[in-house]
Amino acid sequence: MAQVIAGNSYALEQLYDRYARVVYGLSLRILANADLAEEVVQESFWRVWQRSATFRVDQGHFAPWLFGIAHNLCIDELRRRRSRPPAATVHPDYPVIMNVADDEQDVDALIWQAEQRRLIRNALQNLPDDQREAIELAYFGGLSQREIARQLNNPIGTVKTRIRLGLQKIRQFLHDQGLGQEGQ
């Protein structure tokens, strides 16, 4: 990332090769539209390139920063067109918890990504359904807590509790599995 900050476009290419598949998969999952997902991928890395100077190498990690940019772009797009994809748990093409064969070719970093993917899937799978549903509707569905509450016909306080408890359990699960707190 320091090389990107220095203006090295080749370093950005390397980051692209490492994370573009995750960003594109995330974008497809949220937007359910290949063209829009491509735009999100390109725009995310473009913003990384343009805003690299604002990235704190000593304090942050690149992947969460990139994913945050991509996620915000997806949510903005969802809210802009004011149409919501189906709920995450029932999405026909992009189920969150699934065991899809990975055809990664970049070895070291992508093996680590695969391990993170396995752990986070297991963590989500181990959650109670209501907590997992609330988290997925929030993160992949782009819904606010109020909208989730309305959709699930639950009090908003209940939604907040489910999300908080779900995230805490995931954190604990990852901690127990030896994974830190970041996806770097």
Partner 1 sequence: MNHVDDQHSKKQVTAGAPDTLETEEMRFVTEHLKQVAESQDELQELQDVVALLPYAVPPVEPPLRTRRQLLARIAASQSRTAPSAPTTHPARRFAWLSGWRAFVPTFVITLLLLMPLAVLIRSHQLRLAELTQVNTALQSELAQTRADLAQMQQALVALNTEQQAIETQLQATAQEVTTLMQLFSEERFVFTFVTAPGVATRDLVAVDTTINADGAMYMRPGQREAVVLFRGLQPLPPGMVYRFWLADDHDQIAVGTVTAESDGLARLTITAPDAINVFSQVMLTLEPASGGDDPGGTVILEGSL
- Please check whether residue 63 is in contact with residue 50, taking contact to mean a CB–CB distance below 8 angstroms: no
3-state secondary structure string, the chain? CHHHHCCCHHHHHHHHHHHHHHHHHHHHHHHCCHHHHHHHHHHHHHHHHHCHHHCCCCCCCHHHHHHHHHHHHHHHHHHHHCCCCCCHHHCCCCCCCCCCCCCCCCHHHHHHHHHHHHHHHHHHHCCCHHHHHHHHHHHCCCCCHHHHHHHHCCCHHHHHHHHHHHHHHHHHHHHHCCCCCCCC
Residue placing its CB nearer to partner 1 in the complex, 154 or 161? 161
> For the window 77-96, what string marks contact with partner 1 as x by the rule CB under 8 A?
-----------------x-x
Contact residue for partner 1 among 75, 78, 127, 133 (CB under 8 A) = 75
> For the window 103-142, what string marks contact with partner 1 as x by the rule CB under 8 A?
xx--------x--xx--xx--x----------x--xxx--
Site membership for partner 1, residue 47 (CB under 8 A): no
Site membership for partner 1, residue 98 (CB under 8 A): yes
Site membership for partner 1, residue 56 (CB under 8 A): no
Q: Could you tell me the smallest distance in angstroms from the CB atom of residue 121 to partner 1?
A: 5
Q: Which of residues 3-42 bind partner 1 (CB under 8 A)?
A: 3, 6-13, 16, 20-26, 28-29, 37-38, 41-42
Residue placing its CB nearer to partner 1 in the complex, 1 or 159? 159
Q: How far apart are CA 115 and CA 183, in angstroms?
A: 10
Q: Which of residues 143-182 bind partner 1 (CB under 8 A)?
A: 143-146, 148, 157, 159-161, 163-164, 167-168, 170-171, 174, 181-182
Q: Could you tell me the smallest distance in angstroms from the CB atom of residue 123 to partner 1?
A: 8
Residue placing its CB nearer to partner 1 in the complex, 29 or 77? 29
Angle, helices 9-31 vs 62-81, to 10°: value is: 40
